[in-house]
Amino acid sequence: MDLFGGASLDALRIFTWIVPVVVALGAGFLLRRSFHWIALGAVLFFAGLNAAAGIYVLNHFSDSRWSPEGMAQLSAPSLSETPLVGDSLVPLDSVLEGVVGGVNDFRAFQQALPVTLDFLAVSGWALLVSVPLVILAAALSFLAARRRKAEASKYRATVDSLKDELEQIKRQIAAGYPTSTILSAEEDVIDAGPRSTSRG
């Protein structure tokens, strides 16, 4: 399937810009997180599309879409129509047509090569931009992982503390102390803790 078939050069360039933007917006709307990875993916997708467009132009270099308007194809004169000696020159017609066809292909390649290099240059710049994006995305992911780990550690510490307090209460209840006495005794200890007496 020819994905770019029938598309003009300007449409091809617009296509390589619009599609990554649409994909990035769609991914950001659906995921609603990890925007740094979405941005990196969009840049890499943009680079890949431009590289694919450059390869497409190079593989279809004879297409008139890459040639400036008014550039006509060369045509070989027919030597077989030459008076008197035309019949003997018939074999040269095919040779001459092959030579002219090669010249036309070379001219078409000359016209398509700058277009291909433009796409590949944009792809290269996108890859260059992706390098700091990779570093930034990795750093943000590392910081987010450390924050989640710290929150998990804090949560586990709180749970362990509550478990210890619950075990102490269970042991004291099993020993025959009423819960209200235990709680009031703990409150008295807590209230008396920070007080200090000064002696003259």
Q: Per-residue pLDDT tens for 22-60?
A: 988 888 887 777 788 888 889 999 999 999 989 988 888
Mean of pLDDT over the chain? 75
The CA distance from 195 to 190, in Å, is 10
State the maximum Cα–Cα separation within the chain, in Å, rounded to a whole number: 142
Q: How would you label 176-189 residue by residue, b for 16+ Cβ within 10 Å and e otherwise?
A: eeeeeeeeeeeeee
Q: For the whole model, what pTM was predicted? A: 0.65
Q: Determine contact, residues 9/65, Cβ cutoff 8 Å.
A: yes
Task: Output the pLDDT for position 126.
Answer: 93
Judge whether 56 and 125 are in contact, CB under 8 Å.
Answer: no
Mean predicted confidence (pLDDT) in 163-190? 64
Write the CA distances from 170 to 87, 177, 181, 184, 187, integer angstroms: 117, 10, 13, 16, 17
Decide if pLDDT at 81 tops 90.
no
> Degrees (nearest 5) of the Cα angle 117, 120, 121?
80
Distance CA 119, CA 47 (A): 9
Rg (CA), the chain: 39
* DSSP character at residue 81: G
